Amino acid sequence: MCVLLFLEMESPSADEPGADLRDTGNENPSTPEDTSERSGNGSRARTRNPEAWKRNAAKKGRNTGVEHLNQKGKTVPARVMGGGCDEKCRLQCHERVTEGERRQFFQQFWSLGDINRQRMFLSMYTSVSLPDSTRGRGFPTRKVRRYSIKVKEKTHVICQKMFLSTLNTSDKMVKTAETRFNQKGALISPDKRGKHSKVDKEKVAKITKSIDDHIRLFDAVPSHFTRKRSKRKYLPQHLSIAQMHRLYLEWMKMVHPGEVAASESRYRQRFCSAFNFGFFQPKKDQCETCNVYLRASPELRVRLNAKYEEHQQNKELARLQKERDKEAAKQKDSKTCFAVFDLQKVLVTPRDETGVNHYKRKLSTYDLTFYDGARREGHCFVWHEGEGKRGANEVASALQIFTEKHVEEHQTKEFYFWADNCAGQNKNKYLFGACTLLCQRLNVKITIRYLETGHTQNECDSAHHVIEEAVKKHMPVFTSNQYYEIMEEAKVTGHKLKVTKMKDKIVDLHSFVEKHQKWNGHTLVNWRTVREVSFDPNNAPGTVSLRNSLDQDAPTITIRVAKANCGRPVNYAAHQLARAYNGPLQLSAGKLKDLGDLCAHHIIPEEHHGFFQELLGFQMTERRNLFADLDADALVAARREEECQEEDAEIQDHARCTLEGDDVDVDSDGE
C-alpha cells in the first residue's frame, strides 16, 4: 500500500479549507449544554450538572489527550507524541520535519478537544485516490492516501508511521474521518451515536400534562415540623412513587381511555423534577442550632461557640431537672405528679388504600397525649375537627381534665408538667390562665417547665409510635371512633392508654383571660426566654412565678396578672368557664362534598355513614363517577384557598395567644 503524507505547520488561510475549523458546529460535544429543566425551589430533584458526570469527564479527558479516569475508574495515561519512523524510512521523514514542528502539530490536533473537529482536522490533511496502475487486473485493489499540507511554502511528504506516531492516533480514526468529512472539511455523514428519531413534541406534552394532572390530585400538606424553613409538601407515608404510578394507570383508563400513559420511569422523573413533594417518614427531630454549629467552618464556629455552649448547657439542665421531677413523683406516698404532654401527628379519616381515596379531602382527628411518668400511664385526649380546633383552648381543657382527675384519684398536691415551646399551644396566656384557676380551685401547686428547643423528645413520642403501629395493623380506618378504639387497645403490655373524648368538654379561656387578666406589659419578663412558670395556691389569686433558666440558683420573677379596678373581683376558686363551641364546627364545603361522595359510593362502608351524617350534618350526594369532578387545576385552587383560610385563622388565633417577646410563628419551637 502506497501512502503519501504532507505536513504544514502554518495555520490555514481564510481562503483555504479549514480556516473556520474552530468555529464549526459541534454535532457531538464533549460537554453538552444542559438543556434540561432546572429543579429550583419547586422540585425535589437535585440540579443537573453534566460537567461533573463521570462519562462526560472521561469523554473530555479522552478528547483532549490528558490523563483522566475512565468510567470504570481506571487511570488512562496522557497522550504523548511518538518517536516516528526510523532511519530506514525511504522518505527520510526525520530530515523533512523537525521535532519542534512535529510537537506543534501534535498540540494543534489535541487542543481541539472534540472528536468531530479532530476528524475534520484529519480529513483536511488526508486525501484518498485510486492508484494509477492496476497491474493487469483491470480494477484497483487498494486505495492510496495522500496528504497535501504546506509547511512554509513547501510540501513535505512523510510516511504513515511518522504521521500516526506524531499525532499518537490510530489508522482506524483516519479511516473513520474519511467517511465523515471530505477533503475540504465539509460534513458528509454526521455522528449518529446517542441520537434518536424525531420526537413528537405534542404527544410528549400531552403525556406530561396527564402526569401533572394526576399528581395534583393528591392532597399534599406542609410539614408540621419544618413549615417555617421549607416549602416542601408531604404525601401520606404509605404512598410511594411506584404506587402512585399504578394509581395513575388506573386513572388513565377511567378518565382518558385509549390515550397513551407514561411509563414509571417518566412518571418518576416528572415527579422528582417538577414537584417538591416528599413522603412523610416519622423521624427523630434534629436540632437546628446543633446542626448549624457542627456544619460550620472553623472561623464561624468561633463566633457561634458561646451560643452553642449555652444551648448545650440548657439542654443538660432541662434533662437533669426532668429526671429530678420524675424521681420526686416516684417516691413512696408522694403527692406529686410528673407528666409530659404533646400533640400527635394528625390522624386522617378515612385511611384506606382505595385508589380514589387518595384524591379526596379527609377528616382530621387530633390526639393530645399526657404521660404520667411515675405511674407509667398514658392519657389520650381526642377530638376531631368537627368538635374542636388545635389551639390553646383545647390544650388548656385537656390539662384541666387531667389535673382534676389526678387530684380526685390520687389526692395530688403538686404537678410538674413538661412540654415543648410551641407558643400557640403550650406557652400562651390562655393555658396559663387555666392554671391560675386550677391552682386556687383544687388547692394544688402547678409548675410548667419547657424543654430546650431542638431537644424536645419525650415519653409521649413512644406512646404516639405505639398508636401509629396499631393503626397500621387495623387499616382501613373510616371514622374517628375507630381511632379511639385502636388507641385503647394499642398497648399490649403495661397500662392501657386511657382515652378521653373531648366532645362538649372544651372550655373557653379566651373570654376569661381577656376580661379578667393582663399578661402583657410586664417590663421584667421576656416570655421567649421563660423556661418555668409556677402557680402557687398560697399566693394571691392571679400571681405567677417565672424563671428564665432551669438552674436551681436562677432568680424568680413574680408578676400579678389579675386586673385591678375592673368591678367585682373574680372568685378564682369558684369561677366556672363556659363551653368554647355551642355546636359542631363548620368544615369547608369541599371537604364535606368529598366525604359525601365517598359515602355515596360506599368507599366508606354504609355502617359508618351515621357518624358523618350526625356529627358533620351533611346530606348524602347522588351517586356519580367519582373521577368526574377531579379537575386538577380547580382542585389545586380550591385546596390552596382552604389552606389560606386555615392559615389566616391560625395566625389570628395565635396572635391572640402570643405573649410579648414570643416568636409570632406558629412553630416557634421548630416543631
1 or 122: whose pLDDT is higher? Answer: 122
Beta strand spans in 283-388 (E): 336-343, 347-349, 363-372, 377-384
Q: Which H/E stretch holds residue 266?
A: helix 264-274
Q: Which of the four pLDDT bands, split at 50, 70 and 90, describes residue 2?
A: very low
Strand partners, 187: 181
User: What pLDDT score was predicted for residue 400?
Assistant: 95
Alpha helices in 69-114 (DSSP H): 93-96, 99-110
Q: What confidence tens digit (pLDDT) does each residue in 570-595 have?
A: 888 888 899 999 888 888 888 888 88
CA distance 597 to 627: 10
Q: What confidence tens digit (pLDDT) does each residue in 409-446 have?
A: 999 999 999 999 888 888 999 999 999 999 999 999 99
Q: Which H/E stretch holds residue 390?
A: none
CA distance 431 to 443: 18
CA distance 585 to 366: 14
Picking from 504, 553, 559, the residue whose alpha carbon sits closest to that of residue 527 is 559
Mean local confidence (pLDDT), 326-345: 92
Structural contact between residues 424 and 227, judged by C-beta atoms closer than 8 angstroms: no
User: What pLDDT score was predicted for residue 547?
Assistant: 93
11 or 658: whose pLDDT is higher? Answer: 658
Output DSSP code: residue 585.
Answer: P
Q: What's the length of the chain?
A: 671
Res 230 pLDDT > 70: no
CA 490 to chain centre: 30
User: What pLDDT score was predicted for residue 329?
Assistant: 92
Q: DSSP letter string over 9-33?
A: -SPP-TTSTTTTGGGS--SS-SS--
The half-sphere exposure of 426 on its side-chain side, counting CA atoms within 13 A, is 27
CA distance 606 to 529: 52
Considering the entire predicted model, what is its pTM?
A: 0.61
CA distance 395 to 435: 12
Q: What confidence tens digit (pLDDT) does each residue in 557-568 have?
A: 999 998 876 667
In degrees rounded to 5, what are phi and psi of residue 146?
-130, 140
Other CB atoms within a 10 A radius of the CB of residue 27 amount to: 15
Res 195 pLDDT > 80: no
CA distance 613 to 619: 7
Q: What confidence tens digit (pLDDT) does each residue in 241-294 have?
A: 999 999 999 999 988 898 999 999 999 999 998 888 888 754 545 688 888 888
- b/e per residue 188-222 (b: at least 16 CB within 10 A): eeeeeeeeeeeeeeeeeeebeebbebbbbbbbbbe
Res 29 pLDDT > 70: no
Mean local confidence (pLDDT), 55-67: 89
CA distance 513 to 393: 11
Q: Helix %, strand %, coil % for the chain, to 5?
A: 40, 15, 45
Q: Which three cell numbers stand for residue 231?
A: 416549602
CA distance 355 to 359: 8
Structural contact between residues 367 and 487, judged by C-beta atoms closer than 8 angstroms: yes
Q: Which H/E stretch holds residue 638?
A: helix 632-657
User: What pLDDT score was predicted for residue 615?
Assistant: 64
Pairing status of strand 363-372 against strand 377-384: antiparallel
Res 339 pLDDT > 70: yes
Mean local confidence (pLDDT), 642-668: 51
User: What pLDDT score was predicted for residue 549?
Assistant: 92
User: What pLDDT score was predicted for residue 616?
Assistant: 59
CA distance 324 to 338: 10
Mean local confidence (pLDDT), 481-493: 91
- 3 by DSSP, 3-state: which? strand
CA distance 533 to 423: 14
Q: Which of the four pLDDT bands, split at 50, 70 and 90, describes residue 486?
A: very high
CA distance 245 to 252: 10
Mean pLDDT for the chain?
A: 80
User: What pLDDT score was predicted for residue 353?
Assistant: 73
In degrees rounded to 5, what are phi and psi of residue 541?
-55, 140
Res 664 pLDDT > 80: no
CA distance 634 to 611: 29
Question: Comparing 169-183, 319-333, 472-486, 491-505, which segment has the lowest mean pLDDT?
Answer: 169-183
Mean local confidence (pLDDT), 598-618: 78
Q: DSSP letter string over 128-176?
A: EE--S--TTSSS--S-EEE---EETTEE-EE-HHHHHHHHT--HHHHHH
User: What pLDDT score was predicted for residue 565?
Assistant: 62
Structural contact between residues 107 and 167, judged by C-beta atoms closer than 8 angstroms: no
Q: What confidence tens digit (pLDDT) does each residue in 73-125 have?
A: 899 999 999 888 888 888 888 888 888 888 888 888 899 888 888 888 887 77
CA 489 to chain centre: 34
Q: What confidence tens digit (pLDDT) does each residue in 343-393 have?
A: 998 998 888 876 677 778 888 999 999 999 999 999 999 999 989 998 899
CA distance 456 to 285: 8
Q: Which three cell numbers stand for residue 462?
A: 413512644
Structural contact between residues 489 and 473, judged by C-beta atoms closer than 8 angstroms: no
What sign results for the dihedral spanned by CA atoms 56, 62, 66, 68?
A: positive
Structural contact between residues 509 and 430, judged by C-beta atoms closer than 8 angstroms: yes
